[in-house]
């Protein structure tokens, strides 16, 4: 198949999923054309079946806001014509699904199909903004195929947008070998925890929805009970506020800001517990990546997270904002070695449910099904 993969290039779940899916499709012999405004960060490795097409965003003094969606649609039209694409796969509804729809109609093609994958904030945050409502609803309804990354997100989309069409749930996936501690590039745990401290970790885009201040407050309370370090991975609008909070709580020596990390497993492999107290999370790819590395997850029972993390087996989930319960769970788990080891093993085991070799056939058969529509 010749596939156009439309995604955001930045550090974020939807870009990671699109990149890993595209790479694996390329390994399986398909041609994959990435269309984005920059090279997606996970695509730095060369593959002969991967093609990159950067969208040039028009700038003109009249444009206070350059029309990215139109530049993207134009690029999709050009690439589809030049490479005779069969399928456009838009990751994230806004504006990718809409630009793909527009391109398909400019090309006036019956052969070309559009699949939209909903990732989460395109429905729960952006979608709830009334100014986008009708265009998102239209783009979902007009796609030839629609997938959601969890049952939760599927239900939420149907309810919020009164959608009356099939939406297929295809879970995000991991490569089990990346969680393997014997693979090269293993994190130097002693660099972060030189005196054998326990290591807590959080990774996100530091947006309010992630509740990173809860992470810091949980860590502060755990630290009252045991020697530990907190690794904070990522960048985003709340980073300065979080740095200030770390300073106020006098945690500077024990909290390490690592910035953006391209291959997160390298850091996850040296952590004991992943904290994910998000207000909203349609799936929680990073929780799955943590479990794949044998790191249990403690966080909020929200959105699609309970479809990934098994409460009491691979971590603990509590209502959003229950930082005392999250703290207690972390202290208890870290204080009982035998139990902790059971959680580590169960986390790895659970992650296998989302192994690439299980999920990829779902994608390939869904692509074929949509192409036959």
Q: Which residues bind ligand GMT (CB under 6 A)?
A: 12-15, 17, 92, 119-121, 124, 149, 172, 205, 207, 209, 280-285
Please, what is the minimum distance in Å from the beta carbon of residue 119 to ligand GMT? 4
| Under 8 Å between Cβ of 143 and 101 | yes
Closer residue to ligand GMT, CB minimum distance, 36 or 124: 124
Question: Any idea which residue has 């991991």 for tokens?
Answer: 174
* Cα atoms found within 13 Å of the Cα of residue 33, Cβ hemisphere only: 22
What is the nearest approach in angstroms of ligand GMT to the Cβ of residue 163?
18
Please give the DSSP secondary-structure letter assigned to residue 170: -
Task: Provide the minimum distance between the beta carbon of 7 and ligand GMT in the complex, in angstroms, as a whole number.
Answer: 9
Kindly state the smallest distance separating residue 152's Cβ from ligand GMT, in Å: 9
Q: Report the alpha-carbon distance of residue 13 to residue 203 in Å, rounded.
A: 11
Q: Is 145 in contact with 87 (CB distance < 8 Å)?
A: no
Return the number of the residue (10 or 225) whose C-beta is nearest ligand GMT: 10
Q: Please report how close the Cβ of residue 121 comes to ligand GMT at its closest, in angstroms.
A: 5
| Alpha-carbon span 54 to 78, nearest angstrom | 12
Measured from the CB atom, the residue of 97 and 228 that comes closer to ligand GMT is 97
CB nearer ligand GMT, residue 13 or residue 277: 13
Compute φ and ψ for 115, nearest 5 degrees: -110, 130
- Element (H or E) spanning 299, and its range? strand 297-300
Beta carbon of residue 131, minimum distance to ligand GMT (angstroms, whole number): 19
- State residue 355 phi and psi, 5-degree precision: -65, 145
Cα angle, residue 73 at apex, residues 81 and 63 outer, rounded to 5°:
140
The residue among 127 and 294 lying less far from ligand GMT, judged by its C-beta, is 127
Q: Which is nearer to ligand GMT, 95 or 284 (CB)?
A: 284
End-to-end CA distance of the chain: 15
Tokens of 81: 């014509």
Least distance CB 288 / ligand GMT (angstroms): 8
CB 338 within 8 A of CB 367: no
Question: Which residue reads 């700038």 in tokens?
Answer: 59
**β-sheet bridge partners, residue 64:** none
Rounded to whole angstroms, how far apart are CA atoms 2 and 67? 27
**Least spacing, CB of residue 355 vs ligand GMT, in Å:** 16
Using CA atoms, how far apart are residues 152 and 17, in angstroms rounded to an integer?
A: 18
Least separation in angstroms between residue 191's CB and ligand GMT is 27
Nearer to ligand GMT, 52 or 209 (CB): 209
Map residue 45 onto helix, strand or coil: coil
Token digits of residue 213 = 């201040």
Q: Which of 116, 124 has the CB closer to ligand GMT?
A: 124
Nearer to ligand GMT, 135 or 209 (CB): 209
Shortest spacing between CB 243 and ligand GMT, in angstroms? 20
CA distances from 35 to 24, 25, 51, 126, 156 (A): 17, 15, 9, 22, 28
Token duo for residue 345: 């093993």
Q: Specify the residue, 17 or 228, whose C-beta has the smaller distance to ligand GMT.
A: 17
């Amino acid at each position: 198949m010749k596939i156009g993969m439309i995604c955001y290039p930045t550090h974020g779940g939807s870009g990671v999923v699109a990149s890993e899916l595209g790479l694996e499709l390329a390994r399986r012999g398909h041609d994959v054309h990435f269309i984005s405004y920059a090279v997606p960060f996970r695509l730095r490795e060369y593959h002969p079946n991967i093609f990159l097409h950067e969208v040039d965003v028009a700038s003109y003094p009249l444009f206070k806001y350059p029309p990215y969606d139109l530049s993207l649609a134009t690029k999709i039209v050009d690439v589809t014509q030049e490479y005779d694409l069969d399928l456009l796969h838009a990751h994230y509804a806004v504006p990718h699904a809409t630009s793909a729809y527009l391109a398909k109609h400019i090309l006036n093609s019956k052969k070309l199909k559009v699949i939209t994958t909903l990732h989460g904030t395109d429905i729960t945050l952006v979608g709830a903004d009334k100014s986008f409502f009708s265009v998102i609803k239209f783009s979902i309804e007009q796609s030839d195929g629609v997938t959601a990354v969890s049952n939760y997100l599927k239900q939420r989309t149907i309810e919020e947008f009164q959608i009356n069409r099939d939406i297929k749930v295809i879970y995000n996936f991991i490569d089990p070998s990346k969680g393997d501690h014997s693979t090269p590039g293993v994190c130097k745990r002693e660099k972060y925890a030189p005196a054998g401290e326990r290591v807590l970790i959080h990774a996100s885009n530091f947006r309010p929805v992630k509740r990173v201040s809860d992470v810091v407050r949980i860590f502060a309370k755990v630290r009252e009970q045991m020697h530990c370090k907190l690794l904070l991975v990522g960048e985003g609008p709340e980073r300065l506020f979080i740095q200030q909070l770390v300073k106020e709580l006098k945690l500077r020596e024990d909290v390490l800001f690592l910035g953006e990390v391209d291959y997160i497993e390298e850091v996850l492999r040296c952590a004991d517990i992943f904290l994910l107290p998000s207000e909203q999370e349609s799936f929680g790819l990073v929780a799955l990546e943590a479990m794949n590395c044998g790191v249990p997850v403690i966080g909020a029972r929200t959105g699609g997270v309970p479809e990934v993390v098994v409460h009491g087996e691979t971590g603990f989930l509590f209502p959003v904002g229950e930082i005392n319960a999250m703290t207690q769970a972390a202290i208890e788990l870290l204080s009982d070695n035998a139990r902790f080891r059971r959680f580590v093993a169960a986390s790895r085991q659970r992650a296998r449910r989302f192994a690439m070799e299980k999920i990829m056939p779902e994608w390939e058969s869904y692509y074929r099904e949509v192409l036959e529509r």
